Amino acid sequence: MDTKPGDIVLWSDLFLVVVNKPSGLLTLPDGYDPALPYISQLLEPEFGRMWIVHRLDKDTSGLLVLARTAEAHRFLNTAFETRQVIKVYHALVAGCPEWDERRVGLPLRVNGDRQHRTVVDARKGKPAITNLRVLERFSQWALIEASPETGRTHQIRAHLAVAGFPILGDALYGRDEGQFIQRVALHARSLAFPHPVTGEVISFQAPYPEDFIRVLELLRKQI
């Protein structure tokens, strides 16, 4: 992957770096193949030591904030834990919901089956809430906005799948839909959080990557 910091950095100051992560780039080093590129490895030559605040799956594109100081890292960790951060994702899904908005509050257990998926588990699962809104409908697909109130691993993917609308390209939770896209069609669209020094709420929006735009345009032709 030939990605340079200038290709992905949306904003930075002495305390934070906000990036539009491309699909295929890891948030953290791979435990099995440490040679695979990851986000802080890419940024640290220019920005110095980075602290990971939150994660995106390798396939997921979109907004990621990294801390440049230990103090900023602690502040943002607390902000995420106390739900002071507003995260909005866009997903292209199989199926066309009849509802406009839906709140999914099913508890989730991470690594809950032989496929290491996050599964609904009323007894052992942890609380998980995802707010869903239909942004656009197509003949057999939809563009959905997902706003998670909690941060469970694979939460949006699991909640959409159990709702009957798996994300395109998500072979783990639905079907591959490889004729449209070669990865999970999930994009971290917007992010808002308090700045660790000023306390001012700052917000960002990440444009869709080319593969997401291409599928969206294809689906619009099939309405």
Active site residues: 57
Q: Tokens 């294809």 — which residue?
A: 218
Q: Which residues pair with 130 in a beta bridge?
A: 104, 148
What distance in Å separates the CA atoms of residue 130 and residue 120, rounded to the nearest whole number? Answer: 13
Strands (E), the chain: 9-12, 16-21, 51-52, 61-67, 86-94, 101-104, 108-109, 119-120, 130-137, 141-148, 186-194, 201-205
CB 116 within 8 A of CB 222: no
With H, G, I as helix, E, B as strand and everything else as coil, classify residue 210: helix
With H, G, I as helix, E, B as strand and everything else as coil, classify residue 64: strand
Which two three-digit tokens encode residue 196?
């660790």
What distance in Å separates the CA atoms of residue 97 and residue 135, rounded to the nearest whole number? Answer: 11
Q: Among 92, 96, 88, which residue's Cα sits nearest to residue 186?
A: 92
Which two three-digit tokens encode residue 17?
């770096």
